[in-house]
Amino acid sequence: MGRVVTDPSEVAKAISSAPPRPPCARVLMAAPEHFSVESAINPWMHDAQGNLNQVDRARAQAQWEALADAYRRIGVKVDIIDAPAGLPDFCFSANQSLTCLDRNGQPLAIMSRMASPTRFNEVTYFRDWYAQRDFRVMESPPGLRAFEGTGDAIRHHGRHVFWGGVGPRTMAQAWEFVGEATGADVIPLTLVDERYYHLDTCLAIMGPDTALYIEEAFDEDSRKRLQTGFTQLIAVDPHDAGNFACNAHCPDDRHVLIQHGSRVAGTLREAGFEVLELDTSEFMKSGGSVFCLKQELP
Protein backbone atom coordinates (compact mmCIF):
# COMPACT_ATOMS: atom_id res chain seq x y z
CA MET A 1 0.00 0.00 0.00
CA GLY A 2 1.37 3.37 -1.00
CA ARG A 3 1.73 6.25 1.42
CA VAL A 4 0.89 9.93 1.14
CA VAL A 5 4.27 11.59 1.75
CA THR A 6 3.99 15.12 3.13
CA ASP A 7 7.27 15.55 5.04
CA PRO A 8 9.85 17.10 2.68
CA SER A 9 12.61 15.17 4.44
CA GLU A 10 10.98 11.89 3.32
CA VAL A 11 10.43 12.80 -0.32
CA ALA A 12 13.84 11.79 -1.69
CA LYS A 13 13.74 8.44 0.11
CA ALA A 14 10.20 7.74 -1.13
CA ILE A 15 11.38 8.29 -4.69
CA SER A 16 14.65 6.37 -4.48
CA SER A 17 13.08 3.36 -2.74
CA ALA A 18 10.10 3.06 -5.09
CA PRO A 19 9.93 0.24 -7.66
CA PRO A 20 11.33 1.14 -11.08
CA ARG A 21 8.99 2.21 -13.85
CA PRO A 22 9.89 2.10 -17.55
CA PRO A 23 9.61 5.16 -19.80
CA CYS A 24 6.33 5.93 -21.53
CA ALA A 25 6.13 4.06 -24.83
CA ARG A 26 2.41 4.41 -25.57
CA VAL A 27 -0.21 7.14 -25.26
CA LEU A 28 -3.96 7.39 -25.73
CA MET A 29 -5.26 10.43 -27.60
CA ALA A 30 -8.87 11.43 -28.18
CA ALA A 31 -9.92 12.79 -31.54
CA PRO A 32 -10.85 16.52 -31.42
CA GLU A 33 -13.56 16.50 -34.07
CA HIS A 34 -16.15 17.92 -31.61
CA PHE A 35 -13.77 20.17 -29.68
CA SER A 36 -15.07 23.64 -28.84
CA VAL A 37 -15.36 26.10 -25.95
CA GLU A 38 -18.99 26.04 -24.87
CA SER A 39 -18.66 27.05 -21.21
CA ALA A 40 -15.93 28.45 -18.98
CA ILE A 41 -14.67 25.97 -16.40
CA ASN A 42 -11.20 27.53 -16.02
CA PRO A 43 -9.79 31.08 -16.33
CA TRP A 44 -8.22 30.50 -19.77
CA MET A 45 -11.50 30.01 -21.65
CA HIS A 46 -12.44 33.69 -22.07
CA ASP A 47 -10.87 36.20 -24.44
CA ALA A 48 -9.71 39.69 -23.45
CA GLN A 49 -13.27 41.01 -23.80
CA GLY A 50 -14.69 38.36 -21.51
CA ASN A 51 -16.31 36.31 -24.27
CA LEU A 52 -15.86 32.55 -24.68
CA ASN A 53 -12.93 31.74 -26.92
CA GLN A 54 -13.79 30.66 -30.45
CA VAL A 55 -12.08 27.53 -31.77
CA ASP A 56 -10.95 27.02 -35.34
CA ARG A 57 -11.78 23.31 -35.47
CA ALA A 58 -9.89 22.60 -38.69
CA ARG A 59 -6.77 24.20 -37.25
CA ALA A 60 -7.25 22.28 -34.00
CA GLN A 61 -7.44 19.01 -35.95
CA ALA A 62 -4.20 19.83 -37.78
CA GLN A 63 -2.45 20.69 -34.51
CA TRP A 64 -3.67 17.48 -32.90
CA GLU A 65 -2.46 15.40 -35.84
CA ALA A 66 0.94 17.12 -35.68
CA LEU A 67 1.21 16.20 -32.00
CA ALA A 68 0.31 12.56 -32.73
CA ASP A 69 2.89 12.47 -35.52
CA ALA A 70 5.52 13.91 -33.16
CA TYR A 71 4.92 11.08 -30.71
CA ARG A 72 5.25 8.52 -33.47
CA ARG A 73 8.50 10.07 -34.71
CA ILE A 74 10.13 9.60 -31.31
CA GLY A 75 8.94 6.01 -31.03
CA VAL A 76 5.85 6.44 -28.86
CA LYS A 77 2.84 4.41 -30.03
CA VAL A 78 -0.41 6.38 -30.35
CA ASP A 79 -3.76 4.76 -29.65
CA ILE A 80 -6.87 6.77 -30.50
CA ILE A 81 -10.30 6.81 -28.92
CA ASP A 82 -13.15 8.10 -31.08
CA ALA A 83 -14.86 11.27 -29.88
CA PRO A 84 -18.62 11.27 -29.23
CA ALA A 85 -20.67 14.32 -30.15
CA GLY A 86 -21.76 16.65 -27.38
CA LEU A 87 -18.60 16.40 -25.25
CA PRO A 88 -16.43 19.36 -26.30
CA ASP A 89 -13.60 18.70 -23.80
CA PHE A 90 -13.28 14.99 -24.59
CA CYS A 91 -9.97 15.49 -26.41
CA PHE A 92 -8.18 16.28 -23.15
CA SER A 93 -7.56 12.61 -22.49
CA ALA A 94 -5.31 13.11 -19.47
CA ASN A 95 -8.30 13.82 -17.27
CA GLN A 96 -10.78 10.94 -17.40
CA SER A 97 -8.53 8.27 -15.87
CA LEU A 98 -5.24 7.28 -14.31
CA THR A 99 -3.48 4.22 -15.72
CA CYS A 100 -0.55 2.12 -14.55
CA LEU A 101 0.47 -1.50 -14.00
CA ASP A 102 -1.05 -3.08 -10.90
CA ARG A 103 0.83 -5.20 -8.36
CA ASN A 104 0.53 -8.23 -10.66
CA GLY A 105 1.91 -6.39 -13.66
CA GLN A 106 -1.47 -6.07 -15.36
CA PRO A 107 -2.79 -2.79 -16.82
CA LEU A 108 -5.04 -0.88 -14.44
CA ALA A 109 -7.32 2.04 -15.26
CA ILE A 110 -8.72 4.07 -12.36
CA MET A 111 -11.67 6.12 -13.51
CA SER A 112 -12.01 9.77 -12.61
CA ARG A 113 -14.87 11.66 -10.99
CA MET A 114 -14.94 14.91 -12.90
CA ALA A 115 -15.39 18.22 -11.09
CA SER A 116 -17.59 19.81 -13.76
CA PRO A 117 -20.99 18.31 -14.69
CA THR A 118 -20.24 19.18 -18.33
CA ARG A 119 -17.54 16.50 -18.29
CA PHE A 120 -19.24 13.69 -16.32
CA ASN A 121 -20.21 11.65 -19.38
CA GLU A 122 -16.69 11.55 -20.81
CA VAL A 123 -15.64 8.91 -18.29
CA THR A 124 -18.09 6.30 -19.62
CA TYR A 125 -16.43 6.18 -23.04
CA PHE A 126 -12.95 5.82 -21.58
CA ARG A 127 -14.18 3.12 -19.18
CA ASP A 128 -15.53 1.13 -22.13
CA TRP A 129 -12.32 1.60 -24.12
CA TYR A 130 -10.20 0.18 -21.29
CA ALA A 131 -12.58 -2.68 -20.57
CA GLN A 132 -12.49 -3.76 -24.21
CA ARG A 133 -8.69 -3.93 -24.07
CA ASP A 134 -8.32 -6.09 -20.96
CA PHE A 135 -7.48 -3.36 -18.50
CA ARG A 136 -8.62 -3.93 -14.95
CA VAL A 137 -11.05 -1.06 -14.50
CA MET A 138 -11.41 0.42 -11.02
CA GLU A 139 -14.02 2.99 -10.05
CA SER A 140 -13.21 5.88 -7.75
CA PRO A 141 -15.24 5.80 -4.50
CA PRO A 142 -18.63 7.54 -4.82
CA GLY A 143 -17.72 10.12 -2.18
CA LEU A 144 -14.51 11.07 -3.95
CA ARG A 145 -15.51 14.14 -5.88
CA ALA A 146 -13.47 15.37 -7.48
CA PHE A 147 -10.55 13.40 -8.91
CA GLU A 148 -9.38 14.16 -12.44
CA GLY A 149 -6.86 11.47 -13.26
CA THR A 150 -3.51 12.45 -14.70
CA GLY A 151 -4.52 16.06 -14.88
CA ASP A 152 -3.41 15.99 -11.25
CA ALA A 153 -1.46 12.69 -11.00
CA ILE A 154 1.99 13.08 -12.55
CA ARG A 155 4.38 10.16 -12.53
CA HIS A 156 7.91 10.61 -11.29
CA HIS A 157 10.21 9.47 -14.07
CA GLY A 158 11.72 6.06 -13.59
CA ARG A 159 9.89 5.29 -10.34
CA HIS A 160 6.42 4.10 -9.35
CA VAL A 161 5.63 7.34 -7.50
CA PHE A 162 3.04 10.03 -8.21
CA TRP A 163 3.07 13.74 -7.57
CA GLY A 164 -0.55 14.62 -6.75
CA GLY A 165 -2.22 17.99 -7.22
CA VAL A 166 -4.66 19.17 -4.56
CA GLY A 167 -6.88 21.92 -5.87
CA PRO A 168 -10.15 22.70 -7.65
CA ARG A 169 -10.16 19.47 -9.70
CA THR A 170 -8.85 16.90 -7.22
CA MET A 171 -9.47 16.66 -3.48
CA ALA A 172 -6.75 15.73 -0.98
CA GLN A 173 -8.47 12.45 -0.03
CA ALA A 174 -7.98 11.19 -3.59
CA TRP A 175 -4.32 10.47 -2.92
CA GLU A 176 -4.97 8.04 -0.09
CA PHE A 177 -7.21 6.10 -2.47
CA VAL A 178 -4.66 6.25 -5.32
CA GLY A 179 -1.86 5.09 -3.02
CA GLU A 180 -3.93 2.12 -1.87
CA ALA A 181 -5.14 1.25 -5.37
CA THR A 182 -1.76 1.48 -7.13
CA GLY A 183 0.68 0.64 -4.34
CA ALA A 184 2.57 3.83 -5.18
CA ASP A 185 3.59 6.57 -2.79
CA VAL A 186 1.99 9.93 -3.58
CA ILE A 187 3.59 13.30 -2.87
CA PRO A 188 0.79 15.90 -2.65
CA LEU A 189 1.21 19.45 -3.93
CA THR A 190 -1.31 22.14 -3.05
CA LEU A 191 -2.34 24.51 -5.87
CA VAL A 192 -3.07 28.09 -4.81
CA ASP A 193 -3.62 30.01 -8.06
CA GLU A 194 -6.87 29.52 -9.98
CA ARG A 195 -5.04 29.82 -13.31
CA TYR A 196 -3.26 26.56 -12.54
CA TYR A 197 -6.27 24.40 -11.87
CA HIS A 198 -4.52 21.09 -12.63
CA LEU A 199 -1.04 20.03 -11.59
CA ASP A 200 -0.16 19.45 -15.24
CA THR A 201 -0.55 23.18 -15.92
CA CYS A 202 2.24 24.11 -13.49
CA LEU A 203 4.58 21.09 -13.22
CA ALA A 204 6.30 19.23 -16.05
CA ILE A 205 8.70 16.42 -15.18
CA MET A 206 11.52 16.11 -17.67
CA GLY A 207 13.53 13.33 -16.03
CA PRO A 208 14.28 11.70 -12.69
CA ASP A 209 16.05 14.83 -11.41
CA THR A 210 14.65 17.62 -13.62
CA ALA A 211 11.31 19.42 -13.71
CA LEU A 212 9.77 22.69 -14.86
CA TYR A 213 7.41 24.47 -12.48
CA ILE A 214 5.53 27.69 -11.85
CA GLU A 215 6.63 28.80 -8.40
CA GLU A 216 3.58 30.92 -7.54
CA ALA A 217 1.22 28.05 -8.33
CA PHE A 218 2.16 26.22 -5.10
CA ASP A 219 2.02 26.85 -1.38
CA GLU A 220 5.25 26.96 0.62
CA ASP A 221 5.13 23.36 1.85
CA SER A 222 4.62 22.09 -1.70
CA ARG A 223 7.57 24.09 -2.97
CA LYS A 224 9.74 22.48 -0.29
CA ARG A 225 8.65 19.00 -1.44
CA LEU A 226 9.49 19.86 -5.03
CA GLN A 227 12.89 21.25 -4.07
CA THR A 228 13.64 18.01 -2.26
CA GLY A 229 12.42 15.82 -5.11
CA PHE A 230 14.38 17.42 -7.98
CA THR A 231 18.00 18.52 -8.06
CA GLN A 232 17.26 20.63 -11.15
CA LEU A 233 13.97 22.43 -10.53
CA ILE A 234 13.54 25.07 -13.23
CA ALA A 235 11.15 27.96 -12.55
CA VAL A 236 9.56 29.25 -15.75
CA ASP A 237 9.03 32.97 -16.27
CA PRO A 238 5.60 34.66 -16.63
CA HIS A 239 5.76 34.48 -20.42
CA ASP A 240 6.26 30.72 -20.38
CA ALA A 241 3.65 30.27 -17.64
CA GLY A 242 1.09 31.86 -19.95
CA ASN A 243 2.44 29.91 -22.91
CA PHE A 244 1.64 26.57 -21.19
CA ALA A 245 5.31 25.58 -21.07
CA CYS A 246 4.56 23.53 -17.95
CA ASN A 247 2.03 21.49 -19.89
CA ALA A 248 4.92 19.97 -21.82
CA HIS A 249 5.51 16.23 -21.95
CA CYS A 250 8.77 14.30 -21.84
CA PRO A 251 7.89 10.61 -22.23
CA ASP A 252 11.40 9.19 -22.25
CA ASP A 253 13.81 11.48 -20.32
CA ARG A 254 15.07 12.77 -23.66
CA HIS A 255 12.45 14.23 -26.00
CA VAL A 256 10.36 17.21 -24.83
CA LEU A 257 7.14 18.09 -26.62
CA ILE A 258 6.31 21.69 -25.75
CA GLN A 259 4.27 24.65 -26.98
CA HIS A 260 6.33 26.62 -29.48
CA GLY A 261 7.78 29.92 -28.39
CA SER A 262 8.55 28.76 -24.85
CA ARG A 263 11.74 30.46 -23.70
CA VAL A 264 12.68 27.56 -21.44
CA ALA A 265 13.22 25.43 -24.55
CA GLY A 266 16.74 26.83 -24.79
CA THR A 267 17.48 25.89 -21.19
CA LEU A 268 16.28 22.36 -21.84
CA ARG A 269 18.43 22.03 -24.95
CA GLU A 270 21.46 23.18 -22.98
CA ALA A 271 20.64 20.47 -20.41
CA GLY A 272 20.78 17.81 -23.15
CA PHE A 273 17.09 17.39 -24.03
CA GLU A 274 15.82 17.22 -27.61
CA VAL A 275 13.00 19.75 -27.79
CA LEU A 276 10.15 19.47 -30.28
CA GLU A 277 8.20 22.73 -30.39
CA LEU A 278 4.56 22.32 -31.45
CA ASP A 279 1.59 24.60 -31.97
CA THR A 280 -1.30 23.82 -29.60
CA SER A 281 -2.76 27.34 -29.61
CA GLU A 282 -6.33 26.22 -30.38
CA PHE A 283 -6.32 23.92 -27.35
CA MET A 284 -4.82 26.64 -25.17
CA LYS A 285 -8.11 28.49 -25.70
CA SER A 286 -9.63 25.81 -23.48
CA GLY A 287 -6.79 25.77 -20.95
CA GLY A 288 -4.68 22.88 -22.21
CA SER A 289 -1.67 21.97 -24.32
CA VAL A 290 0.50 18.91 -24.96
CA PHE A 291 0.22 17.04 -21.65
CA CYS A 292 -3.56 17.48 -21.47
CA LEU A 293 -4.02 15.91 -24.88
CA LYS A 294 -2.71 12.45 -24.03
CA GLN A 295 -2.98 9.68 -21.45
CA GLU A 296 0.17 7.68 -20.76
CA LEU A 297 -0.59 3.97 -21.10
CA PRO A 298 1.35 1.18 -19.37
Q: Annotated catalytic sites, by residue?
A: 198, 292
Residue 12: partners with Cβ closer than 8 Å, 6 or more residues away = 228, 229
Report which of 283, 278, 223 is spatially closest to residue 68, judged by C-alpha positions: 278
Positive/negative CA dihedral, 99, 104, 106, 109: negative
- The values of phi and psi at residue 65, to 5°, are -65, -35
Q: For residue 244, is it left (φ>0), alpha (ψ between -120 and 50) or beta? A: left
Cα–Cα distance between 17 and 61 in angstroms, integer? 42
Report which of 198, 177, 189, 181 is spatially closest to residue 100, judged by C-alpha positions: 181
3-state secondary structure 171-237: CCCHHHHHHHHHCCEEEEEEECCCCCCCHHHCEEECCCCEEEECHHHECHHHHHHHHHHCCEEEECC
Cα–Cα distance between 98 and 94 in angstroms, integer? 8
